[in-house]
Amino acid sequence: MSTEHSLLAVLSFWPSSGYDIKSEFEHKAAGLYWGMSYGSIYPKLKKLEEEGYVYSMEKEENGRNKKLYELTEKGWQEFEEWLCTPPAYPAVKDELFMKMSTWHKDMDTRHLISHLEKRKRESEDILGFVKEWPRNGISYVSSIGMLTIRYAEMRLETELRWIDESISILKAGELPEGQDPTGAEKKLLSRRRESLGLKSEDE
């Protein structure tokens, strides 16, 4: 999903300012759908306007002029063509998973438990937001959009169960047996200890 198509998607709801769009990309559940830096919004809006996908207009609000962007005919056509194009499979970028996948025996698992507990608090907070989202009396949520909200709920609920299970396993020291056909872990620890000037397990 390109940044430009994300912007067209938000503008399909209603004419919006750059700040309005920023708010859509920064609410608590935004990371479940898209990720975008605030700095990229205005250059992309300018590009879309130059290419004829959107146009800007001034609207007075609370005594101040506000610049809004709206889709052109070309913009609607591009947006709806994008809707009908099969989506790419999502690329997951999760720092917690990367850390867990590369954790080793010389590391204290209390740090990992702390990471999981922090993630649990964050996921519980986002889950509360997601459940309230279609009932907050403010947001526009379509009938089809409700299906994505249900997915977000199920994903977060599953994650919370996984976190509780993982913490219990770590605290009990009952980790499942992994797979290491080439002795990678022993070599990893040996390289680490040699580099840090530490004694190996054999010494």
Collect all residues with Cβ–Cβ distance below 8 Å to 168 and sequence separation of at least 6: none
Lowest mean pLDDT among 28-37, 56-65, 75-84: 28-37
Expressed in angstroms, the distance from the first to the final Cα of the chain is 53
φ, ψ of residue 28 to 5 degrees: the values are -60, -35
Domain match, 74 and 31 both: yes
The domain boundary residue, chosen from 58, 84, 110 = 84
Does 1 score more than 70 pLDDT?
no
Per residue in 153-196, pLDDT (tens digit) is 999 999 999 999 999 999 999 999 999 999 999 999 999 999 99
Query: Mean pLDDT across the stretch 109-123?
Result: 98
Which residue from 145, 2, 4 is spatially nearest to 71, judged by alpha carbons?
A: 4
Task: Please report, rounded to a whole number, the percentage of residues in the chain having pLDDT higher than 70.
Answer: 95
What Rg value do the Cα atoms of the chain yield, rounded?
24
Residue 154, domain extent: 95-176
Query: Mean pLDDT across the stretch 137-145?
Result: 92
Establish if 185 belongs to a structural domain: no
Per-residue confidence (pLDDT) for residue 107, from 0 to 100 = 95
CATH number of the domain where residue 12 is located: 1.10.10.10
pTM for the model stands at 0.83
Does 37 score more than 70 pLDDT?
no
Q: Which residues pair with 92 in a beta bridge?
A: none
Query: Mean pLDDT across the stretch 75-89?
Result: 95
Give CA–CA dist 98/187, Å, rounded: 20
